[in-house]
Structure 1
């Protein structure tokens, strides 16, 4: 392999691309042998000098190739961050007699969390200052925090390695002193019992990074004495813990792709045992919220698009005794719900559009909260008190910044509490959004959300396009406002989200039609959306830039193999591209959990199907678009060696001179750089990469 010297950081000296050596590694299953020449790039310890040197050479090469865009990157970083209000505050949240607020001050990277008693506004107490906690750390992330029931103790978790492994610490809010207790190797969640001395947390497997053990910790005792109260032995399940909104229960949520369930423990009896509310069943999904002696149950039992049922504590274990609270509707997906003492609030999707519906529990009358934008995103914000007569919602659209509302549960009238302030000359009326539907190759109509600068848009086939998609796990990318997207729109670039199958915009069938043996629909939808936006003259076919991250990076890898000629450039962030090898390796985090998403390649049917689209396996000798690929060395979700191997193979096999840049953050993990502003350096680099291809110099 070759490296670049510091003098190569010049546009005129044409830095040489690092070429990884080939070390054939045979892998045989189902009578099929694959040769992986770059398997050697995997080092779980992240200490092998030769591998680190190669990764650094790739980063040096990327920086050298983009050196001429440094002034543009700096200008873009300034532009992106100057739109952000430097001393921004969250809307205060009422919880157990105190108001809580998150504050950003003086342009600092991290937030300060404060509170004040309900009757003492102005006499605030600082719970923690993340800026101080982050001092001296290359990376810092706050996981979770919670205050004890008597308001006297704080527990919070932090990660300084970007591996999503958190340390929990404790602070007395009466004296300000840190307690000696320290819990290592956790998933980050902290949940207090009602006795103010017992805390529940999840410990992670240090190899797979799965949170699988729930422990009970008593303040003042060493972690080695903590009591294991639940262990998940099925590696296809994720484990998480919560406290119910009415503070009755500590809840363990069991979640696999096709089966979910809940175990509960009365929060007043932390020494007791967790009990499963209903046995886990294949393809049965349910979640609950308690209200008195009743449980409201969101479930897919005989309801592909989910319905809401209810049962009392005696009948919750037998689903045949559950009764409908909100029946299943074929055209409406029940996305989420909250139960208050007097009202039920639903988050639903009807024909792909979100709506918030309020139901009076006394007379069952219902009303829908009205919003103005043609397409938007709305959902539940911080709702802490079950006795409240208002629900707090967030709302945003592609032209409306994030807004926080309180909505009266009786009248459905909205009170705007805050709308994010966008600094500079932002005027919402200068921008226009719309949703269109395009026909995929199998006749399916695929939704696309678009936004553009109204005074610069003509549907004449001359517009550059920035096209984003994700398309996995039923995760839905709703149309939302992004201040950073303004840097595209103000330069005449259209921003679009392709709502491809594999997401859940059109309900559970939309997800089911984009996973397992239907996964190729996700890739085909994106390609067909790309073609249609050119044919409909929204975009110049020669100026299309595609973007996706993680499973969306898999999407990018698949489409550049399938239809590389459609894209001027592609950015694939932390991409999951080595599908078959990863899904055959149970030591890699998240592998076994995701058999219901991708399939188990130990089954030949799934092996053959995965192999037919796996981006790394399907790299071929052909022209590829300009590519920007990013990763973090410490990524725990998609390991760095997947994109590293992909880049090495692409370098060896691609047949044109288009750029192939591999940007590696040697300190970061899956989420990239930490801090409020630091992440904009990477976005500025991505935008500069695209603008440079378009000839945009400022």
Structure 2
């Protein structure tokens, strides 16, 4: 392959099989799986024990907190050893007349992989639409049920993105169709119930394939939205929900670099916008002024160190999600200008606004979790701020939150920037003397922040003396929008340097033993792992590399691969020589060298639609060709799954158990 006068030779390009039917490729993956089983055989008892241990902490019979939406209360239940939930509704919060909407276990019974993408009830509450994916490629098919008779309609919508919006006439729906090759959603179709999909009308097609596409409805249900989102630009089209045969129109002109989120309640639009505000500000507009930014009214001003992350509108109040110094808080505002903060006391935690379908509600539902506190659901009174705990995740066994401790520290990177790190450990096993094994996790891309949340599976490591650390490296938005900007494109190396520098500091400060350090990451975090082991392989005893994005340059040069064109603003467009050189400098596949690498476990899914299976497949065999050590290099492919791994609440624990057994086994060897 030659670009910009530079030649690369890829001896393993033949491993790419878009149809996933090549016998030689499939046999190679099966042999790799057999190799994993053989190498992990001495730790099979440990792996099975870890799976049983993690599964034993999960409550078998569990139920969500009911959510009111229109005339009904909705709830989901899981029971016994079932992998999936069943969905119900009732006419009161006590669920006195609870009736079944959908039994996902019955639907999944004959499938190795099964995922529900969306559940959407018609505005008159009579019909249920749901989407299903049977192989993990995230290509969803919609089916429709008459709720009262529990019978299916003849309508079936295939090759969709998995989300659907009802018009207010209860018979018209809008959905996004997938391109069969790139898997991009670029077309919105209108479907009328009772007609074949072949008669559906194309109502919008996006020609710029850097944009992702989604659908939604305004808070007051008066408008249907087509959301268009590139890495650095937002766009939105609108249709009157009462006139489904009308045309979608832009609310405001598309402007490169303008990112915003918008909602409508009554006569007012509320816009979280980065216009002249890198960390966003909240603006208000009317139907007459929405198209002219200069005429918008500022409601919450931009602040240099405070990132505005979200907005929820209610009839009496609105709630803004803010993040400062990495910590989330909620600010409840009245429309008259008064406000107060909702905060929590843990040193580091995650909280998010939950399901709040009713604008007329007098409480806001909030989800809360910390590294030592199981997931909790609060209803917070909008007028007083008083919190009522509705549910906390039950952890079976001998779990006691007080037995664990968490910390938030800052580590100074090589360029003098302070990197936040969240840590958790068991008090009785932790000594800050450099003796503990330590697992460090990272992601660092797309502005996605990996917040410190509770994980019952991680307890299996903490109880064995591990320290668990999350490195909040650049590329996330942990410290605001600039934190993201300095971890992408030409600044991408900052993400890798931050992770390595955090590891060195944690060892120096005695949080982990220099010869017992492990690292793990998935997807873009798998790219992180690939770059880190190229840069500083000597730091890590073992690395978990999951559904990893490793062949960055080749992928970003191929517009037929899903996600490529969408992500030029994230990684750069290597058709431009400067971006080509930037990516070439760190792309893990292109930078493998003849040297010692740590023990590495790589996992992927054959049907992965986000990062194609051949990226880790090629990386593993090239690494075997070059590496000079005798350390383990294991590659496991789930032949039935995609990017998210195995479906179901218990099946996914097998992969967790495999990684943990891999790490613990290295300590014992």
In which range does the TM-score fall when normalised by the shorter chain?
over 0.9
- Structure 1 residue 296 corresponds to structure 2 residue 296: no
TM-score (structure 2 length as normaliser): 0.99
Map of 1:336 onto structure 2: 310
Map of 1:217 onto structure 2: 191
Ranges in structure 1 where 5+ consecutive residues have no aligned partner = 1-26
Whole-Å separation in 2 of the counterparts to 1:588 and 1:106: 40
> Aligned to 1:556, what secondary structure does the other structure show?
helix
> Aligned to 1:685, what secondary structure does the other structure show?
helix
> Aligned to 2:415, what secondary structure does the other structure show?
coil
Whole-Å separation in 2 of the counterparts to 1:563 and 1:120: 57
Q: CA deviation at 1:279?
A: 1.2
- Structure 1 residue 547 corresponds to structure 2 residue 510: no
> Aligned to 1:456, what secondary structure does the other structure show?
coil
Whole-Å separation in 1 of the counterparts to 2:278 and 2:87: 41
Map of 1:171 onto structure 2: 145
Q: CA deviation at 1:121?
A: 3.2
Map of 2:334 onto structure 1: 360
Whole-Å separation in 1 of the counterparts to 2:351 and 2:222: 28
> Aligned to 2:398, what secondary structure does the other structure show?
coil
What whole-Å deviation, never above 9, does each CA across 1:51-108 have from its counterpart, x for those lacking one? 1111111111111110111111111000001100011100000010100001001120
Q: Choose the corresponding residue for 2:344, options 371, 375, 379.
A: 371
Whole-Å separation in 1 of the counterparts to 2:138 and 2:430: 43
- Structure 1 residue 273 corresponds to structure 2 residue 247: yes
Whole-Å separation in 2 of the counterparts to 1:324 and 1:621: 57
Q: Choose the corresponding residue for 1:110, options 78, 84, 93.
A: 84
- Structure 1 residue 100 corresponds to structure 2 residue 74: yes
Whole-Å separation in 1 of the counterparts to 2:509 and 2:41: 37
Indicate if the aligned counterparts of 1:183 and 1:223 stay in contact, CA closer than 8 A.
Answer: yes
Whole-Å separation in 2 of the counterparts to 1:120 and 1:530: 50
What whole-Å deviation, never above 9, does each CA across 1:189-216 have from its counterpart, x for those lacking one? 0211111111111100010001111111
Whole-Å separation in 1 of the counterparts to 2:377 and 2:528: 33
Indicate if the aligned counterparts of 2:36 and 2:636 stay in contact, CA closer than 8 A.
Answer: yes
Q: CA deviation at 1:245?
A: 2.1
Q: CA deviation at 1:119?
A: 8.1
Q: Choose the corresponding residue for 2:62, options 88, 109, 119.
A: 88
Map of 1:536 onto structure 2: 509
Q: Choose the corresponding residue for 2:532, options 559, 566, 585.
A: 559
Whole-Å separation in 2 of the counterparts to 1:96 and 1:407: 20
Q: Which runs of 4+ in 1 moved over 3 A?
A: none
Map of 1:681 onto structure 2: 654
Whole-Å separation in 1 of the counterparts to 2:402 and 2:251: 51
Indicate if the aligned counterparts of 2:218 and 2:265 stay in contact, CA closer than 8 A.
Answer: no
What whole-Å deviation, never above 9, does each CA across 1:154-212 have from its counterpart, x for those lacking one? 00000002110000000001211100000010010021111111111110001000111
> Aligned to 1:144, what secondary structure does the other structure show?
strand
Indicate if the aligned counterparts of 1:261 and 1:287 stay in contact, CA closer than 8 A.
Answer: no
- Structure 1 residue 637 corresponds to structure 2 residue 607: no
Map of 2:323 onto structure 1: 349
Q: How does 1:481-520 map to 2 (within 5 A)?
A: 481-520=454-493
Q: Choose the corresponding residue for 1:283, options 257, 271, 276.
A: 257
Whole-Å separation in 2 of the counterparts to 1:162 and 1:189: 16
Indicate if the aligned counterparts of 1:246 and 1:385 stay in contact, CA closer than 8 A.
Answer: no
Map of 1:320 onto structure 2: 294
> Aligned to 1:674, what secondary structure does the other structure show?
coil
Whole-Å separation in 1 of the counterparts to 2:318 and 2:86: 33
Q: CA deviation at 1:371?
A: 1.2
Q: Choose the corresponding residue for 1:422, options 388, 395, 399.
A: 395
Ranges in structure 2 where 5+ consecutive residues have no aligned partner = none
What whole-Å deviation, never above 9, does each CA across 1:366-414 have from its counterpart, x for those lacking one? 1111312111100110000111111000000000000000001110110
Map of 2:379 onto structure 1: 406
Q: Choose the corresponding residue for 2:631, options 640, 643, 658.
A: 658
Whole-Å separation in 2 of the counterparts to 1:500 and 1:90: 33
> Aligned to 1:455, what secondary structure does the other structure show?
coil
> Aligned to 2:453, what secondary structure does the other structure show?
coil
> Aligned to 1:118, what secondary structure does the other structure show?
coil
> Aligned to 1:143, what secondary structure does the other structure show?
strand
Map of 1:244 onto structure 2: 218
* CA RMSD of superposed structures (Å): 0.9
In the comparison of the two structures, how many residue pairs are matched? 669
> Aligned to 2:153, what secondary structure does the other structure show?
strand
Q: CA deviation at 1:598?
A: 0.3
